[in-house]
């Protein structure tokens, strides 16, 4: 089964299976799916049922916390956290849960998500607890407004199979810095395994491919970032801000099922949010404000377990960096504003992790980046300067590996990917199947950095 099975998620489930799934009766739903697959079916519906049989067991793994366990985890982190507060968060729509076998189960990363996104909890963190943050952000944003900067750093990525099988060959893809409008391609690439394939610098999802016998694989490379500051809302400013950005193409206005579809609800939301605004920059600013001010940041399960990312975010008003970027892109494209995906790593000194953001195009300024996640964090913190900054600008703490959403890797994987939409942690498979997110781990470290 290739990753294109995900395109079938736009097909509805049969009513009886959908009701069982919604009620959390996963075992009976799987039994019905297997029985139904033994009958003649249209190809898309057959693929949809095969996909559901593949995804349902993973939902159980992701939603593993009981309510008592969730309360206990939050009480470990937050001073004087009460059951009444937890119930209030449920009524506010901030708790991500599913019913599984008759019991309400919560997303396993929910405690960390809540203390990161809610100022009321972050202020009450116990000693030794951390909600993350960007201590050098204010100084870097000030410097970028004053002068063009060049930021250079070296990354090390280590990917390992958690429980390798002796004698097994593992096919490994690791993300690599691509050529983008604000970034030079990776330099001084060093891998401790033989490089069997290396994508070109403009690959849509750039990776290095190698094979191992189960031992960890280490990759190092140097990244150079050249971000530029612009006040996009100043109509006297003319572009292009990034002259070497890829030209607009038809793909920048297209739907990408299942997560980037122009549903009736999203069309209505785009029309309502844009209003009578005709200027593409001002319209994009309206969409950015909607996402950053209305959508709560929330850690999410793997996207392959969601059926429509952009609409999910707009309906539930919660989502992580990637879902917020997808919603912004969808609203732009629906309105005729070219927009596209960009992602890889947020690579700060001492803290490197996966991150997603977006770009949009206007005739006046060309392509500009937009980070709804960082912008939303700034808005919740009351930092209007940083909120405005991330509309049209990025800090230099980025490693761009991906410039297209839902693109195959090279050499193409034979089995479903751990993340079929993006490439940040890497991918591993054997002759028997692809490894799931819990079956391998990836760690990124910044070895050194310099800026001018």
Give the chain's domains with CATH numbers: 3-63 (no CATH), 66-122 (no CATH), 133-452 (3.10.620.30)
Structure tokens at 273: 């949010």
* Backbone region of residue 231 per phi and psi (left: phi > 0; alpha: psi in -120 to 50; beta: other values): beta
**How confident is the model at residue 348, as a pLDDT?**
87
Q: Which of 363, 367, 345, 362 is nearest to 354 (CA)?
A: 345
Predicted local distance difference test score (pLDDT) of residue 6: 87
Contact 239/365 with Cβ under 8 angstroms? Answer: yes
DSSP 8-class letter at 72: H
Query: How far apart are the C-alpha atoms of 120 and 92, rounded to whole Å?
Result: 14
Instruction: Determine what percent of the chain falls in helix, strand and coil, rounding each to the nearest 5.
Output: 35, 25, 40
pLDDT computed for residue 132 by the predictor:
54
As a whole number of angstroms, the distance between CA 380 and CA 119 comes to 7
How distant, in Å, are the alpha carbons of 123, 290, 307 from that of 93? 21, 18, 19
The pLDDT of residue 433 is 94
Tell me, yes or no, if the pTM score tops 0.85. Answer: yes
Main-chain dihedrals φ then ψ at residue 159, nearest 5 degrees: -120, 135
Phi, psi dihedral angles at 336 (to 5 degrees):
80, 15
Walk along the chain (452 residues) in steps of 10 and give the mean pLDDT of each run. Answer: 82 95 94 97 95 92 95 96 96 92 92 90 83 64 87 97 97 98 97 98 97 97 96 96 96 95 97 97 98 95 90 96 98 98 93 95 98 94 93 95 94 93 95 93 96 78
Give dist(CA 88, CA 53) in Å, integer: 34
């Amino acid at each position: 089964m290739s990753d294109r099975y995900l395109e079938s998620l736009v097909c509805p489930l049969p009513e009886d299976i959908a009701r069982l799934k919604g009620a959390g009766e996963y075992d009976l739903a799987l039994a019905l799916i297997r029985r139904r697959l033994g009958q003649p079916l249209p190809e898309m519906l057959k693929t949809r049922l095969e996909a559901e049989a593949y995804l349902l067991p993973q939902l159980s793994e992701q939603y593993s916390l009981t309510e008592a366990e969730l309360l206990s985890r939050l009480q470990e982190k937050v001073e004087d956290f009460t059951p009444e507060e937890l119930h209030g968060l449920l009524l506010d729509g901030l708790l991500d849960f599913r019913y599984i076998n008759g019991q309400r189960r919560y997303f396993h990363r929910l405690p960390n998500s809540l203390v990161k996104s809610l100022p009321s909890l972050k202020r009450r963190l116990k000693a030794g607890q951390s909600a993350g943050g960007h201590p050098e952000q204010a100084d870097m944003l000030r410097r970028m407004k004053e002068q063009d900067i060049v930021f250079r750093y070296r990354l090390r990525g280590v990917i390992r199979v958690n429980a390798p099988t002796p004698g097994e060959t593992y096919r490994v893809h690791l993300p690599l810095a691509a050529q983008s409008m604000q970034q030079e391609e990776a330099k001084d690439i060093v891998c401790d395994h033989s490089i069997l394939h290396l994508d070109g610098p403009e690959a849509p999802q750039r990776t290095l491919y190698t094979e191992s016998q189960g031992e960890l694989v280490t990759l190092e490379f140097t990244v150079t970032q050249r971000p530029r500051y612009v006040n996009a809302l100043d109509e006297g400013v003319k572009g292009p801000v990034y002259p070497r950005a890829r030209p607009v193409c038809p793909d920048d206005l297209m739907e990408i099922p299942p997560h980037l579809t122009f549903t009736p609800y999203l069309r209505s939301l785009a029309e309502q949010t844009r209003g009578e605004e005709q200027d593409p920059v001002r319209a994009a600013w309206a969409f950015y404000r909607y996402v950053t001010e209305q959508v709560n940041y929330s850690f999410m399960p793997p996207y392959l377990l969601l059926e429509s990312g952009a609409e999910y975010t707009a309906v539930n008003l919660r989502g992580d960096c990637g879902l917020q970027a997808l919603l912004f892109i969808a609203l732009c494209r629906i309105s005729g504003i070219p927009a596209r995906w960009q992602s890889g790593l947020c690579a700060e000194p001492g803290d490197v992790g996966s991150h997603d953001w977006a770009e949009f195009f206007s005739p006046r300024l060309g392509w500009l980046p937009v980070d709804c996640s960082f912008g939303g964090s700034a808005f919740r913190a009351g930092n209007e300067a940083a909120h405005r900054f991330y509309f049209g600008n990025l800090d230099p703490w980025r490693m761009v590996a991906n410039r297209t959403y839902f693109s195959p890797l090279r050499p193409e994987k034979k089995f479903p990917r751990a993340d079929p939409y993006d490439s940040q942690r890497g991918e591993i498979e054997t002759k028997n199947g692809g490894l799931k997110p819990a079956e391998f781990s990836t760690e990124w470290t910044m070895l050194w950095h310099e800026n001018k």
